[in-house]
Structure 1
Amino acid sequence: MSSIHVSLPVSGTTRSPTLLTLQALPLLSILNHHTRRPIPSQPRVIGALIGRRTDAGEVVVTNAYAVPHDETRVYFAEKEHKDLLEAFRKVGGDKEGLVGWYATTPTPDVFSALIQNFFSGETAPYPAVHLTVDVTAPASEGSIKAFVSSPIGILPNEFCTFLPLPLSLPSNPPSLLHSTPPTPLASLELALAQTRKDLALVRAYVDSVVSGEKEGDAKVGRELMDVVGRSGEAGNGAEWKKGVEGQLQDTLMVSYLSSLVRSQVELAARINLMQV
Structure 2
Amino acid sequence: MANGDRTVLQFSTQSTANFSAEVHPLVIFNICDCYVRRPDQAERVIGTLLGSVLSDGTVDIRNSYAVPHTESADQVALDIEYHHNLLVSHQKVNPKEVIVGWQNQPTEDVEKDSRNSGCWKLFSQVGSFLQYAGEDARITGPLQGRCPNYRVSSTLLEIERCRVGRAFREDAMLSGHLPETRYSTGLGVTGRSALIHDFYSREVPNPVHLTVDTGFRNGEGTIKAYVSVNLALGDRQLASQFQEIPLNLRMVEAELLGFDILKTTSVDKLPTDLEGMEVTMQRLLALIDDIYKYVDDVVEGRVAADNSIGRFISDTVAALPKLSPPAFDKLVNDSLQDQLLLLYLSSITRTQLALAEKLNTAAQIL
- Could you state the TM-score of these two structures normalised by the residue count of structure 1? 0.60
In the other structure, the counterpart of 2:331 is 226
In the other structure, the counterpart of 1:89 is 91
Q: How much does 1:75 deviate?
A: 1.6
In the other structure, the counterpart of 2:211 is 132
In the other structure, the counterpart of 1:63 is 63
In the other structure, the counterpart of 2:37 is 36
Root-mean-square deviation (CA, aligned residues, Å) is 3.9
Matching residue within 241, 260, 268 for 1:161:
241
For 1:245 and 1:160, the matched residues in 2 are separated by 66
**1:122-157 deviation digits (Å, cap 9, x = unpaired):** 01xx3100001111223446x110001124589x99
Unaligned runs of 5+ in 2: 1-8, 107-186, 252-258, 281-322, 349-366
For 1:236 and 1:34, the matched residues in 2 are separated by 39
Question: For the Cα contact (< 8 Å) 2:52–2:61, is it kept in 1?
Answer: yes
For 2:279 and 2:78, the matched residues in 1 are separated by 53
Matching residue within 194, 197, 200 for 1:119:
200
User: Secondary structure of 2:52's partner?
Assistant: strand
Q: Which has the larger radius of gyration?
A: 2
User: Secondary structure of 2:218's partner?
Assistant: coil
For 1:236 and 1:61, the matched residues in 2 are separated by 41
Name which of structure 1's ranges 156-165 and 78-87 shifts more when overlaid on structure 2.
156-165
221 and 109 in structure 1: CA distance in 2 versus 1, 3 angstrom threshold: farther
Amino acid at match of 1:76: L
Amino acid at match of 2:26: L
User: Secondary structure of 1:138's partner?
Assistant: coil
221 and 147 in structure 1: CA distance in 2 versus 1, 3 angstrom threshold: farther
For 1:71 and 1:236, the matched residues in 2 are separated by 53
Number of residue pairs matched? 200
Q: How much does 1:221 deviate?
A: 6.8
Unaligned runs of 5+ in 1: 10-14, 183-188, 203-217, 247-276
